[in-house]
Amino acid sequence: MDLRAVRSPAMTDVAKLAGVSHQTVSRVLNDHPNVREQTRLRVRAAIAELGYRPNRAARALVTGRSQLIGIVAQNSTLYGPASLLAAFEQAAAEAGFAVSVGSVGRMDRESIAGAVERHLDQRVAGLVVIAPVASADDALDDMPDDVPLVTIDGDPARSRALVTVDQAAGARQATELLLAAGHRTVWHVSGPPDWYDAAGRADGWRSALEAAGAEVPPVVAGEWSASSGYAAGRMLARMPEVTAVFTANDHQALGLLRALSEHGRRVPDDVSVIGFDDVPEAEFFIPPLTTVRQAFDAVAQAGLELLLAQISDEAPLAEQIVIAPTLVARSSVGPPPHRV
């Protein structure tokens, strides 16, 4: 089938035909010296055969014509990713930029690469990838190097332009508050294992317990849903030694609160509970939930500023910005029950 009869060829098509990566095609298009002549000729031949016409952000930047930012994000209604996306759209609009959102069903190499190519065909000035899961890493490694790129909520251990919340610090604050209230230890309902936020929160919880010389209970594995918290709560409610629980997000806490209530365990008289996120409904839980607030507006603003600095060649490609979360104290934490 003739590709040109279906759609205009993209850089991915050139790379596939030439048997090279996105980055190599990009280097050839930009006359980068570190490309072997044989490879350069092969890429040029593929470009000619496909009739590929470069339509890249870098060229738009030179002319100053692009006021469009491309965002790649998973198609999700989860509070954190959805809040980050909304905050970035608002920050971009205030800076005079339009936003094109490429939603993907899965954060894998093929899905992300396809969304990126669609953005580049729109002549975006830069790219933002909201990448909270480990499966996005392979795709991020293969990003074209001629377009400004910022990752939000990605792997903090990797070297790239990144803006994220200090998840471990927030979890430590929550755990330390419970220990300071007199609890001997704190149980943790975790998020999905492939999420960096979940891993960071589990690390912070564990480090706070270890630093205090407290026993580290086994992690109760969970998902991001209230039903997951409810299932964990039904188990923990039957364990009289459980007097404090830190959940990986507020929706888990909501399910946990119901389970504890159904089993006659009062919050905070019998069990103290802290969540994470500070969803808008958290202050209306029964009791109002103590939680950790993520400053999504600050993350979005920092991400935008880092991207704009790259666009104007004022920032290194590997700069990282970490935003501190805030502990929000309400009514779900108290001292442990007195044991006779």
Confidence of residue 2 (pLDDT cuts 50, 70, 90): very low
For domain 64-165+296-324, give the fold. Answer: Rossmann fold (3.40.50)
- Residue 315 pLDDT: 60
- Lowest average pLDDT, out of 73-77, 210-214, 257-261, 269-273, goes to 73-77
What would the pLDDT profile of 83-106 be if each residue is shown by its tens digit?
A: 988 999 999 998 888 999 988 888
Range 175-204 average pLDDT:
97
Q: Which CATH class is domain 11-54?
A: mainly alpha
3-state secondary structure the chain: CCHHHHCCCCHHHHHHHHCCCHHHHHHHHCCCCCCCHHHHHHHHHHHHHHCCCCCCHHHHHHHCCCCEEEEEEECCCCHHHHHHHHHHHHHHHHCCCEEEEEEECCCCHHHHHHHHHHHHHCCCCEEEEECCEHHHHHHHHCCCCCCCEEEECCCCCCCCCEEEECHHHHHHHHHHHHHHCCCCCCEEECCCCCEHHHHHHHHHHHHHHHHHCCCCCCCECCCCCHHHHHHHHHHHCCCCCCCEEEECCHHHHHHHHHHHHHCCCCCCCCCEEECCECCCCHHHCCCCCEEEECCHHHHHHHHHHHHHHHHCCCCCCCCEEEECCEEECCCCCCCCCCCC
Q: With a cut of 70, say whether residue 57 has pLDDT above it.
A: no
- Min mean pLDDT across 26-40, 125-139, 216-230 is at 26-40
pLDDT of residue 175: 98
For residues 299-324, give the mean pLDDT.
83
> Is the model's pLDDT at 308 over the cut of 90?
no
Q: Where are the domains of the chain?
A: 11-54, 64-165+296-324, 167-294
Residues of the chain with pLDDT > 70: what percent?
A: 90
When mean pLDDT is compared across 258-267, 285-294, 300-309, the lowest value belongs to 300-309
pLDDT for 189: 98
The domain defined by 167-294 folds into Rossmann fold (3.40.50)
Same topology, domains 11-54 and 64-165+296-324? Answer is no
Taking residues 194-201, report their average pLDDT.
95
pTM here?
Answer: 0.79
